[in-house]
Structure 1
Amino acid sequence: MTTDMAVDMPWSLAEHGDFRPWVLIPVFDHEHAIGAMVQGVMATGQRCLLVDDGSRESCARVLDALAREHAPQVTLLRLPQNQGKGGAVLAGFREAARLGATHVLQIDADGQHDPRDIPRFLEHARRAPAKVICGTPEYDASVPKGRLYGRYLTHVWVWINTLSFAIRDSMCGFRVYPLPPVLCLMEQETIGKRMDFDIEVIVRLFWRGVEIENLPTRVTYPSDGVSHFDVWHDNVRISRMHTRLFFGMLRRLPRLLRMRATRPARA
């Protein structure tokens, strides 16, 4: 049995050293888009950790070349078998911590997010190092309507399961995490390793008292035409996760009500 540990602590850069962010990109067979994404990250001057989530050989070769070309600014972590997006990000968190990171900016490999937003997100994280800085998508005409409408159902469930509107978009894969509370959560809870990851991790962090700051970011679907979202299996997986979170919310109801009373949701 696990218990939530409040993170309303005075977590600060002074206590945990300098602000040392890494950009984390989970990659699975995105060899046609990842080069442009890495170039975008390089243009911001940030260090980048690529996590090869068991990609096919053609993608693995591209990742090897990128890591060689941009070393030491780009580091490659290779997983022997596909773990799913969440599994790759969790492995990346551990590796980033080993490399000395205090924060991780997660961004998708397929080009749907704009790396020019990285400095803005990191500046907000530097000013508020204990918060998750969470992207709120601003879509263009490329967004599939079915995916767009499906997100709103998840938004409603998240608002119910947190008793709050603090998380405006729980599915956006562009966000900055403070590593200490994330690593603590990983040690104490089981988090979904597939497309349910982005939703579950931010809800569970919120339950532990981690504040969320929402920032708008432009989203385009996707530059290489590759999406690993399985409409049937991933929607079933996400539905089961929402059910688990709902019963988890009921167990935490008194504490969530106290949080709601003492710390109103902010954008």
Structure 2
Amino acid sequence: MGRVLVVIPTYNESANIRSIVGRVRRSAPAVDVLIADDNSPDGTGAIADELAAADPQVRVLHRPGKQGLGAAYIAGFRWAREHGYDAAVEMDADGSHAPEELPRLLDAARDADVVIGSRYVRGGKLVNWPAHRLLLSRGASLYTRIALGLPVRDATAGYRVYRMPVLDKLELDQVASQGYCFQIDLGWRAYRQGFRIVEVPITFTEREHGASKMGTNIVAEALWRVATWGVQARLETAKRAFGGRRRTG
């Protein structure tokens, strides 16, 4: 796999960040960690600095303010590219993504371009997740498969491994999506570029500390953008087919 960077975006995760970073370092000692903090008012950034001072494999990217999950990941991916990493991992700071499962995702990435830690393939599990969140998540993935033809069971999953050649091709400067939609956006771009995507079952556990950042605006964005991408893809397909008929006619 070469050099791997785990990107962990944070905003008000002071109750979780020490534990998550410690578990990552124990579970996958060879990887490095980048905490991308959006100037958390609860002092998460200061804790991140303490962790980095005590461990040379932990770094901190201080950002000026809360700009959303997608922007934090893109900043982390750029940092990974600039510092010569071969792959980047997305991982939540709230404990929902078990660092102990990271080695399995990295093993799968040896034969794939993108690895998704999936809740909805055989072996995937959900622990303590509210019914309305499950309905939203499953509904979003089904909607995405129908609208885009994206062959992924868990399109909104946020525990992922991207090889750097994938990120180099995804035109990250043009990605404006957030939340659910950010994950769908990058998966859709990777699929259209012909990269190999595999799903690995994980156990997803609802956070024990802090508050979820999920809001109705994030769900609305996903619905609108996925519908737009689906229409655009169908128009492109129809245009190519019509152009082919004209040339052969």
State whether TM-score is above 0.5: yes
2:114 aligned with 1:132: yes
Task: Give CA deviations for 1:87-135 in whole Å, capped at 9, x if unaligned.
Answer: 000000000111111111111000011101111111111233xx20011
Kept in 2: contact 1:158–1:203 (CA 8 A): no
Once the 2 structures are TM-superposed, how far is the Cα of residue 254 of structure 1 from its aligned partner? Answer: 6.2
TM-score (norm 2): 0.87
Kept in 1: contact 2:6–2:89 (CA 8 A): yes
Kept in 2: contact 1:191–1:201 (CA 8 A): no
1:225-240 equivalences in 2 (<5 Å): 225-230=210-215, 232-240=216-224
What is the letter of the counterpart of residue 182 of structure 2? F
2:5 aligned with 1:19: no
Cα separation, 1, equivalents of 2:51 and 2:191: 35
Kept in 2: contact 1:31–1:62 (CA 8 A): yes
Task: Give CA deviations for 1:24-56 in whole Å, capped at 9, x if unaligned.
Answer: 111111110111110011112021111112311
1:227-266 equivalences in 2 (<5 Å): 227-230=212-215, 232-253=216-237
Counterpart of 2:14 (choices 26, 31, 51) is: 31
What stretches of structure 2 of length at least 5 have no aligned partner?
Answer: 242-249
Once the 2 structures are TM-superposed, how far is the Cα of residue 139 of structure 1 from its aligned partner? Answer: 3.3
Comparing 24-33 with 185-194, greater Cα deviation is found at 185-194
Partner residue of 2:38? Answer: 53
Q: Percent identity?
A: 27
Comparing 56-65 with 103-112, greater Cα deviation is found at 56-65
Kept in 2: contact 1:207–1:256 (CA 8 A): no
2:145 aligned with 1:162: no
TM-score (norm 1): 0.82
What is the CA RMSD across the aligned residues, in angstroms?
A: 2.1
SS at match of 1:239: helix
Cα separation, 1, equivalents of 2:236 and 2:164: 24
Structure 1 residues 134, 256: closer, same or farther in 2, change over 3 A? Answer: farther
2:132 aligned with 1:149: no
What is the letter of the counterpart of residue 124 of structure 1? A
Cα separation, 2, equivalents of 1:116 and 1:91: 25
When Rg is computed on C-alpha atoms for both structures, the one with the higher figure is 2
